[in-house]
Structure 1
Amino acid sequence: MSTYEEEHNTSGNSNSRRDLRAQIRNLYQEDGSSTALLQLLAQLIPESMQEELLNEKEEGCPETFIDSLPRVNKCDLKGADACSICCCGYLDDTHPLVVKLPHCSHRFDLECVAVWLSKSRTCPLCRDDVLSHKPKVDISNVELEEDWGMYG
């Protein structure tokens, strides 16, 4: 009777990882393109995950989302508060334009976070997906309000 390691070929697991890395590196360098590498990865990744990865776009946030970020009032800023991206104090500017991300309440200069969010959908600090926390509009309330305005 064979052991679990022999049956599943897991003995020396760190060596097998190194071998896989070496195979991937060799595949990538052999033909100079990523087609062989993609074929190998397609064999390793289940079909359901492949579809998700193909459908997922690595684009940033839409401009409308960036423009709709809530502004922070200058009165709410403290002297020591600074943007985590550029490290400049908010109150160093005579007219600071500071926004707050709605899902995590992290504050940034609008100019800094606009560039970040145009390329990424995550908060620069906590890396949480900012678009997954969009407030959802309840259509039934909107319809009720429209109907009420029509009769009242």
Structure 2
Amino acid sequence: MALLFFFYLYVVFSRGRDDHHSRVVIKTARKQGLSDIQLKKLPKIVGKDLSLDINDCAICLDVIGNEEFARLVPGCKHGFHLECVDLWLSKQPFCPVCRHKLEPELFNQDENNLC
């Protein structure tokens, strides 16, 4: 009788877990950020050339040194450490500060001007 009871519990609880897993929606991995080619087209400068008095990287919260490479986001002109913003933009095409979107047309214009 105890064996039958434990078998019943096993069936009930294993069935509940299977139902739960079958209802979970699996998100597909989709790259939404910029490609390496697009990242290389963005302006690259050194920290001393930043036009703003604020030389802090809003991603890592560290100071951008005068000789460190930095990158400006076109449109809004916010500056960040090169490595920080490249990693950010490779995952999502928005400025981390103001959420300005880098549209694909920005990169297509450069290719059209080469002709």
Same fold (TM over 0.5): yes
**1:31 to 2:5 alignment:** no
Counterpart Cα distance in 1 of 2:36 and 2:111: 23
Aligned residues of 2:45 and 2:71 also touching (Cα < 8 A) = yes
The structural deviation recorded for 1:74 is 4.2
Give the TM-score normalised by structure 2. 0.61
The structural deviation recorded for 1:114 is 1.1
Counterpart Cα distance in 2 of 1:88 and 1:140: 37
**Number of residues of Structure 1 aligned to a counterpart in Structure 2:** 95
Counterpart Cα distance in 2 of 1:105 and 1:126: 10
Unaligned runs of 5+ in 1: 1-28, 39-53, 143-152
Give the TM-score normalised by structure 1. 0.48
The structural deviation recorded for 1:58 is 4.3
Please, which of 78, 85, 89 is the counterpart of residue 63 of structure 2?
89
Q: Percent identity?
A: 27
Counterpart Cα distance in 2 of 1:117 and 1:140: 24
Counterpart Cα distance in 1 of 2:23 and 2:35: 31
Work out which structure has the larger RCO, using CA pairs closer than 8 Å and 6 or more positions apart in sequence.
Answer: 2
**Residue-by-residue CA offset, 1:23-60 (whole Å, 9 max, x unaligned):** xxxxxx8822465869xxxxxxxxxxxxxxx9xx4432
Q: CA RMSD in A?
A: 3.2
More helix by share: 1
Opposite residue 83 of structure 1, the aligned amino acid is: C
